[in-house]
A and B are shown apart, each in its own frame.
Chain A
Amino acid sequence: MIDKTDLWIVITALAVGSFGLRFLFLGLVGDRAMPEWVMRHLRYTAVAVLAALVTPLVVWPAATGGQTDPVRLFAALSAVCVGYFSKSVYGALGTGAAVMIAAAYWPA
């Protein structure tokens, strides 16, 4: 369970930080071009962080006590393949969910 004080610290910090990032150029820096190398790194931030965040969750899921779980691994790989080839967020989401649901109701 998430501690309430911690939660509000995170919400406040992210509110200030996210607005700061959004206001940084439009409000403060104005019409000055950002160095090309900065722009180049920024283009890969979301992909890099989310990939780093998700990989250990897939390989060592907390729900199985950190044991690699074939179902979760297969659900994740299916979602990656469908998302990559179809370019569809929903296709990926639906595929991953379908594998998890199918496994939950599989007659064991």
Chain B
Amino acid sequence: MARSDVMSSYWRGFRDGMPFFLVIAPFATLFGVLATESGLSVFETVAFSVAVIAGSAQFAALQLMNENAPLLVVIVSALIVNLRMAMYSAALVPYLGPLPLWKRVIAAYFIVDVTYAASAIDYEKHPDENVSQKFAYFMGVMTPVCPLWYVFAALGAFLGASIPSENGLDFALPIAFIAMVAPALRTKAHQGAAMTSCLLALGLIWVPFNLGLIFASLGGMAVGAEMERRGLL
């Protein structure tokens, strides 16, 4: 197995990952700013980003902690946001499953939206590549994406400490959530899921311990899945 083949897969991945810098950097910075506004230190902000390495789940956890939601609700809600990682993990098994355990541990840690999406497309395009090349491609995509998630969270945390918490900054987080959701409403099923969970979230606001959020999410998921099953896409 020529080493150069592995390296060329790595660099192809690196090039495919590069453009996502533009997506990662602002969101990581925003997380850093909002985390320090919520009272987290720079170290805590970076530790959070390294440990969890998932934008929307980190934002969700931060928001719920600011609302003083019970810890179990914070944790369960953020993990529901991250359930799609299990879907990515399943989807990568046919390609990366034959790797030795330690490489699967490394790959699993770096499964994020970008690494999954880029790899899934590339593995379809290059079915002849062996598993070492596939792993190299995956790590190539990861290289300009994941470390920057930590670096820019730190940068945001430094910035956040110097930005006065002005009126209106409280709304940066909701706007960030909307910016993540609205472009994802591609199909009628996605729209149905989102609409249902919006209405349920408003209707169930009285439910104690922020549990309305979890019920509303499950309701939205069920509606989306049922619409898809009936072919309403």
**Interface residues, chain A, with chain B CB atoms under 8 Å away:** 1-2, 6-7, 9-15, 17-19, 21-27, 29-31, 33-34, 37, 39-63, 72, 75-76, 79-84, 86-90, 92-93, 96-97, 100-101, 103-104
Contact = CB atoms under 8 A, between A and B. Distances in A.
Interface string B173-190: 111111111111100011
A12 B155 CA distance: 22
Nearest to A58: B174
Nearest to B99: A26
Chain B interface SS verdict (over half): helix
B179 A90 contact: yes
Contacts of B93: 25-26, 29-31
A6 to B, nearest CB: 6
Interface in B147-191: 166-168, 170-185, 189-190
Contact of B78 (A2, A14, A103): A14
Contact of B194 (A40, A51, A57): A51
A25 B104 CA distance: 10
A47 B224 contact: yes
B89 to A, nearest CB: 4
B193 to A, nearest CB: 4
B82 A27 contact: no
A42 B67 CA distance: 26
A43 B184 contact: no
